[in-house]
A and B are shown apart, each in its own frame.
Chain A
Amino acid sequence: MNTPAVRTENLVRDFKMVRAVDHISLEVPSGIVFGFLGPNGAGKTTMIRLLLGLLEPTGGHAEVLGYDVRSQSSTIREKTGTLLEHTGLYERLSAEDNLEFYARVSHIPRAERKARIQELLTHFGLWERRKENVGVWSRGMKQKLAVARTILHRPAFIFLDEPTAGLDPVASAALRDDLAKLAAGEGITVFLTTHNLSEAEKLCARVGVINRGKLIVVGSPDELRAKIGKPRTEITGQGFTSEILASLRARPDIVSAETENGRLLITASENTPMSPIVRFLVGAGAEIEEVQKVKASLEEAFLTLMEEDR
């Protein structure tokens, strides 16, 4: 059986009066992209610091790649790559020197070093500008270089803390594609924290949701949507009067009914067929052009979870 990439049992970390991580028990299988989601201050970054051995747990137990975070943290740092909240790049140095430094840190042999740096800079489209000081680069380029540094020593596991934060949509999408390719191509386990739920939906095989230090739920995005988000039906047409809305809301199988930009949005209980509802609407005088069943997004599931946990 494969060793899980991350395994924690009742992991706790206190900062004076604040409990930043509260009895988290989690297992992340190897070879997947795992999304760790939560609002600001939920405990995501503290969790990464604990797993890297940068912070000592107040209680509980944690292992990364089978190594204990208390006694084997230097081995964990050796076998993992990390991109924290800030890129951590030396802005006075060139891109090449930044990678050269971390290649030396990782004891990559001299002969292999140059080839690996060239391979990564070329992959991220930065090779031509390798001699420039990183300080003059755009945020997107810096972020790409930081990702290159993270995977430079071919780690089995990488931590990415908000990797697309502050990037424009085009740069975010490009970086997301790169991460997906790298995870698949190099077989790396990725532990990703993000606020961007559509990003998590696209990249992650499994996600965990944390709020106020507590792990609320873990599962695949599909499982979370099915478990928490309720299916919704969007009906395009005309004549959705307030009487019709009131009648719909009175039905026991309807959770909510509202209009938005001329569309009627209906959230029904699970397994409720739509055809009787459509018949009712037509009978009540509404003109229907299109009926579309929409799956709940991960964002909706996330917001529901946050609401329930309040």
Chain B
Amino acid sequence: MISDILTVLWKEAREYLRQRGTVRGTFLTLGIPILILGIVMPLQFGKAWVESPVSLIAWAWIPLFLAINVIADSIAGERERHTLETLLASRLSDTSILFGKIFASMLYALILTFLIVAIGIITVNVRFFGEGITFVPLNYLAIGITAAILGTGFAVSAGILVSLRAATVRQAQQTLSLGIIIVALLPSMLFTILPAGMKQSFNAWIESVDGELAVILLFGFFLILDVILVLISMKRFKREKLAVE
């Protein structure tokens, strides 16, 4: 099983590297987010890009957008390009194929995110050279890494479910991007329409909450959500269903 998962992961990685036709083309495309998030924004925000807890939110969002694009291509694209049925006709189990795709998408998004973060840290240190080393506080780093992993898991498993229903890669990517934007903007939009009294009560409640406990609860919630979504994906990703579709 593990060697089969690794085989699918190997294939997916080769495909990601050639998603723009050539490995060079792919690296040039990937250079854009690296340039913006790894160099331009750290230069603009300065040390806050590394030290502020707000930057953790940005870091948690980067892998989500990267993951939804590759998982949509991996699932809906495989069907659109007529390669899925041949893959299903091979000896690989449904679970090996699914987990190979899940791990490949997660690794792609996380490796690229950590690369962007590392380049950002280097950029800030080069910019403020001679002012001592600027690094992410370790507790923020731990929170950032956990948030990135759980967030990517959520994006990938939700991406599978959407991609299995989408007719094309483009449709899957659009639906997922829209979904993530709604999830991101909805809480702040709801907050703005609250009456002033309720806003005050909400702020007071937030200030009274134990931050550490809140983070643990939030991560627990996302962990359970990820597991549930993966289990649903396993139920949906079955040869019989895919062949009929």
Q: Is the pairing of A and B real?
A: yes
Which residues from chain A sit less than 8 Å from chain B, CB to CB? 15, 49, 52-56, 74, 77-78, 82-93, 97, 101-102, 104-107, 133, 135, 159
Q: Is B207 an interface residue (CB 8 A)?
A: no
**Complex CA–CA separation, A87 to B90 (angstroms):** 13
Tell me the complex Cα distance, A90–B244, Å: 22
**Cα of A215 to Cα of B7 in the assembled complex, Å:** 40
* Given the contacts A15-B244, A74-B93, A104 and B85 also touching, CB distance less than 8 Å: no
State whether A133 and B91 are in contact (beta carbons under 8 Å apart), knowing that A54-B85, A54-B243 are contacts in the complex: no
> What B residues does A77 contact at CB under 8 A?
89-91
The secondary structure that dominates the B interface is: helix
Judge if B240 is at the interface, Cβ distance under 8 Å. yes
Extra contacts besides A106-B91, A135-B21 (15): CB < 8 Å: A54-B239, A56-B240, A77-B91, A83-B86, A84-B86, A88-B87, A89-B83, A92-B14, A97-B14, A101-B14, A104-B10, A105-B7, A105-B90, A133-B18, A159-B89
Q: Is the CB of A52 within 8 A of B89?
A: yes
Q: Is there an interface contact between A78 and B91, defined as CB atoms closer than 8 Å? A: yes
CB of B85 to closest CB in A, whole Å: 5
A interface footprint on B201-245 (CB within 8 Å = 1, 0 otherwise): 000000000000000000000000000000000000001100110
Q: Give the residues in chain B near A107, CB-CB below 8 Å.
A: 3
Q: Mark B23-57, 1 if CB is under 8 A from A, else 0.
A: 00000000000000000000000000000000000
Q: Which 7 pairs of residues, A with B, have the shortest CB-CB distance?
A: A88-B86, A86-B82, A78-B91, A82-B89, A54-B243, A92-B18, A104-B7
Of residues 85 to 144 in B, which have CB atoms within 8 Å of A's CB atoms? Answer: 85-93
Chain A CB within 8 A of B19 CB: yes
Chain B's nearest CB lies how many Å from the CB of A146?
Answer: 8
A218–B244 Cα gap in the complex (Å)?
Answer: 28
Pick from B10, B82, B243: contact of A101, CB below 8 A.
Answer: B10
- Please name the residue on chain B nearest to A93 by beta carbon: B14
Q: Are A82 and B239 in contact (CB under 8 A)?
A: no
Q: Given A77-B90, A105-B90, answer yes or no on A91-B243 (Cβ-Cβ < 8 Å).
A: no
Whole-angstrom CA separation of A107 from B240 in the bound complex: 24
> A-contacting residues of B (Cβ < 8 Å)?
3-4, 7, 10-11, 14-15, 18-19, 21-22, 81-83, 85-93, 239-240, 243-244
Question: Which chain A residue has the least Cβ–Cβ distance from B82?
Answer: A86
Contact A93–B15 (Cβ < 8 Å): yes
B89 touches A84 (CB 8 A): yes
Bound complex: CA of A86 vs CA of B79, how far in Å? 11
Residue on A nearest B242 in the bound complex, by CB: A54
B92 touches A88 (CB 8 A): no
User: Which residues from chain B contact A102 at a C-beta distance below 8 Å?
Assistant: 90
9 residue pairs of the A-B complex, CB under 8 angstroms, read: A52-B89, A54-B240, A77-B91, A82-B86, A86-B82, A87-B86, A90-B14, A101-B7, A107-B3
Residue of B nearest to A77 (CB): B91
CA distance A92 to B80 in the complex (A): 14
| A53 CB contact (under 8 Å) in B4, B92, B239 | B239
Among B81, B90, B240, the one with the most A-chain Cβ atoms within 10 Å of its Cβ is B90
How many angstroms from the CA of A139 to the CA of B83 in the assembled complex?
A: 15
A104 CB contacts on chain B under 8 angstroms: 7, 10
Residue of chain A at shortest CB distance from B88: A54
For A105, the chain B residues whose CB sits under 8 A away are 4, 7, 90-92
Residues A88 and B83 in contact, CB atoms below 8 Å apart: yes
Nearest-CB residue, chain B, relative to A107: B3
Contact A90 B83 (CB under 8 A): yes
Chain A minimum-CB-distance residue to B7: A104
Q: Tell me how far the C-beta of A81 lies from the nearest C-beta in chain B, rounded to whole angstroms.
A: 9
A53 to B243 CA separation, bound complex (whole angstroms):
10
Report B88 CB to chain A, min CB distance, Å. Answer: 6
Smallest CB-CB separation from B91: which chain A residue? Answer: A78
CA distance A91 to B19 in the complex (A): 10
B21, B86, B239: the one contacting A92 at CB < 8 Å is: B21
Q: B243: shortest Cβ distance to chain A, in Å?
A: 4
